[in-house]
Chains A and B, each alone.
Chain A
């Protein structure tokens, strides 16, 4: 049985690595496009958020191509995301598709159970080994993304895109730890060499907000690339690997404490999703003198980000760092986004200059 999963940023590469190593039959969904969006908008509840519409549309595309099962993470309701699996299942069954649903959520036993069902020959040892490689790949890809956002202002996008594609191909095809590390080192150097102008005096902006919207360029109209092209260094507060680290184990608790402490005085409690992280990370950026401003991304109707937004007004006033809140939806036009970004950059330039 071939299972499928929703596209989200670069998640497909570590997932495919895991599936291959565990001999799980899978069908990769097409990259997100207008078609995925149209399908999602057509079949999702009108008031559901953009991420859900994209996930649903992408599932439909994969089922059309012959996928027989859908796999998605769940959880105890961090936000609506916790119900994406169940909601998709219900809608897709109503549409007449025949498939199995696998929702990855605690307990650990149920997760191992799902993998045991899907994998051809399963052993715990094998699972651990494949997980380690997939995790490494995720980290290496996100590390490279981080560097390219930082250097993006000094790169030609044609060159860096070609380099990135090449890098992703190599990371996808290797499964040896040493080799992967070597690829990373080489490509980091190559990327740095491509940066022609010396990084000096350009604006630096931190990106915060909803995780899906931040991770998926199709959902955020490639905001990071736009900022880079406007000559801005970008730092994204949220990476999937970083988020997993902050939410698992002892080390996670320590990382998370930093955010909770930073948000104190503005937001005291978890409000679902990444609301607390948005506030905490904005405070951290504001206290860091290297950053000129912060941009918050939220899908329309995202409750956690709406709560965070009201707290951000106070952060903005007290810490004197401009924050631009952007709401994204299927109706968002790239021209409107570009106008706001350009005006925000003018504002930051005049303020710092």
Chain B
């Protein structure tokens, strides 16, 4: 049996999926990055390798997310693709007539507009991370509510309060103020969900034609409070795919499948044994000019395999 591996290396989580030749998910794993992408990917793959059927042969690997190049080198990826494209590919595979994809992840949020299965427009938060998963995480722990229950609490609200959602720092002080005034936790959380959606639509969604079907994915899609706030604001049903939190990885796997199948090439996958190899990244500051670039080197079992982080060509590996 053939399978395709997709790895999404995000700022907050690392997601790995295996899909079959039909694009159906065979297995998936969702782990926290914790600033150690290589270790976490190795750990995730070790766990997956124990669960997969013995006759499964990995015929292609794709990586995406902000660590796509790093992990691409480690696993021997066939495709290394940006997460905007990967997410769009996955949503149109699962909901073929999708016209709008809302995606909120750990530190970024984006909107992708598709028409007839083709991406025609997208936007991504540029200089502000207000309203992304990290902020929700932080607020949930400040309020002493497990993040998993955050959205359910919002649904219990009967009289949501208005929270200023423009900036996460001010949103936080506004929430504290509303708590001091004596508003209930449910009402405040519902107000926050609404504020984040308002901010998202004004900021990332500005000037975009949002048409149904609308798909909502990314880690934050687990939050039913945000889903409901989106449905109210957009006055349409919002679809959350079953594998909403690993859509980037599914997209990466689909892209690898397409490439390997259409070009009829062998995969570059280095095999499950990469979980046993030792990858050592090291960094140094280049003092060649005033840019003081942070150069990162990657060694595999003592052998230099890649280098990046510099602006000129000085450190190219020939």
Contact = CB atoms under 8 A, between A and B. Distances in A.
Interface of A: 30-31, 33-35, 157-158, 161, 222, 300, 310, 313, 316, 322, 326-327, 329, 331-332, 335-336, 338-340, 342-344, 346-347, 350-351
Contact of B118 (A161, A329, A350): A350
B199 interface: no
Given A30-B290, A336-B124, A343-B122, 12 more contacts: A33-B289, A158-B316, A313-B207, A326-B126, A336-B108, A339-B82, A342-B85, A343-B82, A343-B84, A343-B85, A346-B85, A346-B119
A115 B201 CA distance: 53
5 contacts: A33-B290, A222-B311, A342-B82, A343-B122, A351-B118
Interface string B257-295: 000000000000000000000000000000001111000
A34 B291 contact: yes
Contacts of A326: 126
Contacts of B149: none
A300 B84 contact: no
Contacts of B126: 300, 326-327, 329, 332, 336
A322 B292 CA distance: 36
B186 interface: no
B207 A310 contact: yes
Nearest to B126: A327
B20 interface: no
A35 B119 CA distance: 39
Interface of B: 66, 81-85, 108, 118-122, 124, 126-127, 207, 289-292, 311-313, 316
A161 B313 contact: yes
Contacts of A161: 312-313
A347 B122 contact: yes
Contact of A31 (B83, B119, B290): B290
Contacts of B118: 350-351
A339 B84 contact: yes
Contacts of B207: 310, 313
B311 to A, nearest CB: 7
B292 A347 contact: no
Contacts of A339: 66, 82-84, 124
Contacts of B121: 316, 322, 347
A347 B84 CA distance: 10
A34 B287 CA distance: 13
A245 to B, nearest CB: 32
A338 B292 CA distance: 20
Nearest to A156: B313
Contact of A33 (B83, B122, B127, B291): B291
Contacts of A346: 81-82, 84-85, 119
Contact of A347 (B66, B83, B119, B313): B119
A351 B83 contact: no
Interface centre among A34, A300, A327, A343 (most CB of B within 10 A): A343
Nearest to B311: A222
Contacts of A157: 313
Contacts of B122: 343-344, 347
In the complex, the 10 A-B pairs of residues with the closest C-beta atoms, listed nearest first: A343-B84, A33-B290, A313-B207, A342-B82, A346-B85, A327-B126, A339-B82, A347-B119, A343-B82, A158-B313
A231 to B, nearest CB: 15
Given A322-B120, A347-B120, A327 B127 contact: yes
Contact of A331 (B84, B108, B127, B291): B127
Nearest to B85: A346
A194 B173 CA distance: 59
A31 B288 CA distance: 13
Interface centre among A329, A344, A346 (most CB of B within 10 A): A346
B40 to A, nearest CB: 18
Contacts of B313: 157-158, 161
A147 to B, nearest CB: 21
A18 to B, nearest CB: 25
Contact of A300 (B82, B119, B124, B127): B127
Contact of B127 (A322, A332, A338, A351): A332
Contact of B290 (A34, A158, A331, A344): A34
A351 B85 contact: no
B292 A34 contact: yes
A34 B292 CA distance: 8
B136 to A, nearest CB: 20
